[in-house]
Amino acid sequence: MKHSIFIIIPILCCLVSFNKAIAQSVDPEKLLGVWKLEKSGFIDNAEVVIKQFNDCRLSQNFVFKSDGTVDHTYYEGDLDTCYIGKTESYKWHILEDTLVLSSGEYFGYYVLQMINNGSFRMQAVQTEIESTGDEILDKMLNTVHFDVYTKHNGPVSCDQCKLILKLN
């Protein structure tokens, strides 16, 4: 038994070190600027499924500012009539590989992965959710969703849309 403890302890130390090496620390300076939604998806039974969004919905964007605030603008609709939602502002900061967004009593936690092509992947941090008793609802609540954003040089709009209206 004493010998197995001496073997297990170094193995555990290696596993802890390995897990910390996998987590990608994100430099907040690299996040500053305008980021446009490139694709959105979810993971279903270990299979990545990409949502079929049109250019209107893909105009969703974040503008990260150096003062610790970020504006998020949401678009909804189709190429004939695209609606711009109200821009929501949050405070933001990075904890290693996690983006924390806050506004009032809202706190959102998202794991960030910077991608070499000038993009980042944003995935909500999963939490344990108790069963509701409804199999379909439980599956929806436990589905891992993600978004991939690409950096842009200026403001984002839907160039392919015929009519863009602002939601009130």
Please state, in angstroms and rounded to a whole number, the distance separating the CA atoms of residues 112 and 48: 17
Please state, in angstroms and rounded to a whole number, the distance separating the CA atoms of residues 40 and 93: 22
Q: What does the chain come to in residues?
A: 168
From residue 47, give the alpha-carbon distance in Å to each of 111, 122, 133, 136, 137: 19, 17, 25, 18, 19
pLDDT tens-digit series, residues 93-110: 999 999 999 999 999 999
Task: Report all structural domains of the chain as residue ranges with CATH numbers, in order of start.
Answer: 26-166 (2.40.128.280)
Nearest by Cα to 53 from 164, 148, 153: 148
pTM of the model: 0.78
Q: What is the per-residue pLDDT for 126? A: 75
Helix segments in the chain, DSSP class H: 2-22, 135-141
pLDDT tens string, the chain, 168 residues long: the values are 444 444 433 433 433 333 344 556 888 999 999 999 999 999 887 889 999 999 999 999 999 999 999 999 999 999 999 999 989 999 999 999 999 999 999 999 999 999 988 899 999 887 777 888 898 888 877 788 899 999 998 888 888 899 999 987
